Amino acid sequence: MKHRENKSFSCWILFFCFSFFFFSCDRNPVKNKEENQEEKIVEKTIAEEKKQSSSVVSMEQKIQDAGINIQEAYRIVLYCSFLDTPHHRMLGYTLQCKLADFLGKESKFFSIQFSQEKHLAQAILQAKDLKEDLGSAFFEKNKGQEIALAVCVSLAEKKIQMRSLHFLNGRISPSLSLDFISSSHAIELLCQNFFILLGLEGYIIESEGKKVTIAFRNFQGNQKAKIDPGSYFWVFNQERLWPDSLVRIDRIVEGNILSGSGEFIGSRPPQNGLKIRKICFPGGTQKFQLVNIRGEAQPGFSIFVHHEFFSNNLEHYLGTTDSSGEFFLKDNHRKPLYLLIAKNIEGIYFDFMRKLLVVQPCETVEKISVQDWQPLKENAKKILSEETKTEKNEALRTLINMRLEQVKEYIASRELNKALLALKLARQHSQEMEGEGKAALHKMLEEVEKIYEEALFKTKVKEEYISACKLVEEADSCIAKIEYEKARTSLLQAEKTWPKGFYEQEYKDLQDRKKRLDILQKQLSEDVGKARAFIANNLFVLNPEDINSIVLKRIQEHIKILSEKGNMDKNARYSDYELWLKLRIFLNELSQKLAQLAQKYLGSYQKASTEHEKSMFFEKHKELYEASKTIDSWLQTFQNN
């Protein structure tokens, strides 16, 4: 047994090591052959029919092997109370007849005993402590029953109160409230909500991973007891509720046996033979309280809630528990809630507990036990001090497996810091274990923790370097726009972000950038700095239509200053070489645009009808043509030099 446990943990460790270095690859789809397509379709149809036939036989055999009697009738006692009317007995009899008509031919699957004992109906509806409020005589009287349904109809308030009690597991449902118009409408509503209150049942007869196949108890062909895809079910083992475990039905198959397939939701693996019972979602709000093992309120825990999956995104943040440890959950979707309880540990927002909940409004506060967030090592000793050695190891092994599951999830989402923290917590749990396997398990976890610490450190260094490089790129972009103050801010931030002791050559290059930036800022008040700013910020946005002899002269002056006093060393940091190349390209394009505009004005001159227009168009043509020739001469000079 110990060998298998050690082997199991070894497999976990191997998985974490390999999953850190490898990625999964998608498989290419295989193309179907097109030859003899019609024959293959026929063969496939025949094969599916055979498979379906064999699956029915297999299902019936599995049900028989499991000793499950899905044809067993529901044994029900229905306590009915009609208030504010002298005709309560007649209305009770009417309900009995209407319910029999409603069930129709399927009524044989229900053994219903009607009772109009008002005090018992009221007692069930108001019960908080079953034994104290109902008494042992009540349970002895209903020894052969499975379910008690309590219905109270107030004709004055036009309101129905309903509740169910399952004798086998002692669970009582939340109270359902319905409004009605008349007594006949009330009876109709009671029939329509009969199955909701009852809680239809089924059994898991096959499981593969989280996928399960369900055989439902009775109801084949009964449309009124229809189970819709998307329905949720509680899970029971020997009438004991499995916490944090539900089944969601995805597909229903009708036949000799009403069956379906669905997904098992929860951390435990599903087992064949488990009973499931349909959940009634009353909606509304329920009050909860976080407590530790001693029942003390736990403040400072962050509450996250979602109705599809566990999430600690801020958009799903509900609040943080105060000194009372209390919080409220509201069911707006008539679905289970995924409750995630988080705590800030070592600067990391860490998932501390995950729990599946169904909101069931009641007067009492439901308590949720969590570990104290103080050092887990000391807390584990307090929690497990009264357990035997075997129970203690089993409880710790469960905690370790839970942490290792978290490691697996954090690896998949690339959250190495959280994966490392989960490993540390798993190692703390392993320290509390007793027996021969403790040392080996602790050593393996310690070695994996070292691997992750090193990987996390390298990842942090790389992330800091990438962030610093982005800031350097921003600085380069700002310098090209002569935005020196913004560039300095980016370089200083990059220097602060830089991983010290790493990428030393690149860090030296960062310092060279800062020194060159100092020179550029000093030159802003000098001719070369002004020329550089004019070319970068004014010349490159110049409209060809605005070119004239005065503008050309100013451009020529700045170009001359830059060519004589600028740094044209192409290997130097932040030199004027790139600006000079950009300038030459711009001037070449500007010359072409000026020539095109000159040609355009020449055409306008030729089409002009008055002497004034001809004179104006010709002068503009001449000015632009001369400007184009001047810029061409500059470019020729640049090329010769």
Tell me the three state secondary structure of residue 475: helix
- Alpha helix ranges (H) inside 432-503: 437-480, 484-497
Domain final residue pick, 153, 175, 198 = 198
Domain final residue pick, 487, 514, 541 = 514
HEC per residue, 392-447: HHHHHHHHHHHHHHHHHHHHHCCCHHHHHHHHHHHHHHHHCCCCCHHHHHHHHHHH
Answer yes or no: do 85 and 175 share one domain: yes
Answer yes or no: do 542 and 612 share one domain: yes
Answer yes or no: do 504 and 532 share one domain: no
Please check whether residue 296 lies inside any domain of the structure.
no
What is the predicted pLDDT for the residue at 333?
A: 85
Domain final residue pick, 198, 233, 265 = 198
Please check whether residue 98 lies inside any domain of the structure.
yes
Range of the domain at 510: 461-514
Tell me the three state secondary structure of residue 617: helix
Please check whether residue 102 lies inside any domain of the structure.
yes
Answer yes or no: do 492 and 542 share one domain: no
Answer yes or no: do 417 and 469 share one domain: no
Summarised one tens digit per residue, pLDDT across range 209-239 is 899 998 888 665 555 556 888 889 989 988 8
Q: Contact, 15 vs 408, CB < 8 A?
A: yes
Answer yes or no: do 470 and 568 share one domain: no
What is the predicted pLDDT for the residue at 380?
A: 42
Answer yes or no: do 106 and 145 share one domain: yes
What is the predicted pLDDT for the residue at 492?
A: 92
Summarised one tens digit per residue, pLDDT across range 588-624 is 999 899 999 989 988 988 888 888 888 898 988 888 8
Please check whether residue 555 lies inside any domain of the structure.
yes
Please check whether residue 13 lies inside any domain of the structure.
no
Please check whether residue 233 lies inside any domain of the structure.
no
Please check whether residue 499 lies inside any domain of the structure.
yes
Asked if pLDDT for residue 55 goes beyond 60, the answer is: no
| Other CB atoms within 10 A of residue 456 CB | 15
Task: Tell me how many degrees the CA angle 111-113-114 measures, rounded to the nearest 5.
Answer: 140
Summarised one tens digit per residue, pLDDT across range 365-403 is 888 888 765 545 454 445 444 445 666 667 777 777 777
Answer yes or no: do 424 and 489 share one domain: no
Answer yes or no: do 81 and 180 share one domain: yes
pTM exceeding 0.75: no
Answer yes or no: do 107 and 191 share one domain: yes
Please check whether residue 17 lies inside any domain of the structure.
no
| Other CB atoms within 10 A of residue 304 CB | 22
Answer yes or no: do 174 and 78 share one domain: yes
Across 386-390, 542-546, 636-640, the highest mean pLDDT is recorded for 542-546
Rounded Cα gap, residues 494 and 489, in angstroms? 9
Residue 190, domain CATH: 3.40.50
Dihedral, CA atoms, 343, 344, 346, 350, nearest 10 degrees? 50
**What does DSSP assign to residue 82?**
E
Question: Using CB atoms within 10 A of its CB, is residue 152 exposed (0-12), middle (13-18) or buried (19+)?
Answer: buried
* pLDDT, the chain, mean: 80
Answer yes or no: do 379 and 490 share one domain: no
The mean pLDDT of 435-463, rounded to a whole number, is 73
Total count of domains within the chain: 4
